[in-house]
Amino acid sequence: MAEAGDLAFAPEEAAAILRHMNGDHASDSTLMVRALGGQPAATDATVTGVDKAGIDFRATVDGSEVPVRIPWGRTLAARAEVRGEVVRLYQESCTALGIEPRQAEQGAH
């Protein structure tokens, strides 16, 4: 089993992921928490952490904040792999919730 330190991204990498997710994909986070995080009543979600094993959120459920962790499909080796996992989680969330996923924009990240 990997040690916690082995799963961490560099602080600046994790901060960049959080900035991007919370700045550009806030509604996607809520979908993921509702569909895959066991919180179908979530009305809001913010990414609070990320490592090579999964992504952490603070979700608003029935007026209270609750922590939610969604694991990646596998342990990631590098930050560059996060995008593919987030896209996969988003698509799985849309399928689970019966929502048509938006088309990826060329050059979008």
Q: Is residue 43 one of the residues assigned to a domain?
A: yes
64-76 burial code (b ≥16 CB/10 A, e <16): eebebebebeeeb
CATH number of the domain that 81 lies in?
3.20.180.10
Give the pLDDT mean for 1-16.
Answer: 81
Q: Is residue 73 one of the residues assigned to a domain?
A: yes
Q: Is residue 106 one of the residues assigned to a domain?
A: no
Q: What pLDDT score was predicted for residue 53?
A: 97
Q: Is residue 31 one of the residues assigned to a domain?
A: yes
Q: What pLDDT score was predicted for residue 37?
A: 97
Q: Is residue 59 one of the residues assigned to a domain?
A: yes
Which structural domain range is residue 17 located in?
4-97
Give the pLDDT mean for 34-44.
Answer: 97
Give the pLDDT mean for 15-36.
Answer: 95
- pLDDT digits 0-9 by tens, 13-22: 999 999 999 9
Q: Is residue 42 one of the residues assigned to a domain?
A: yes
- pLDDT digits 0-9 by tens, 54-99: 999 999 999 999 999 999 999 999 999 999 999 999 999 999 999 9
Q: Is residue 24 one of the residues assigned to a domain?
A: yes
DSSP 3-15: -HHHHPPPHHHHH
CA distance 80 to 66: 28
Domain total of the chain: 1
Q: Is residue 102 one of the residues assigned to a domain?
A: no
Question: How many CA atoms, within 13 angstroms, populate the side-chain half-sphere of residue 58?
Answer: 8
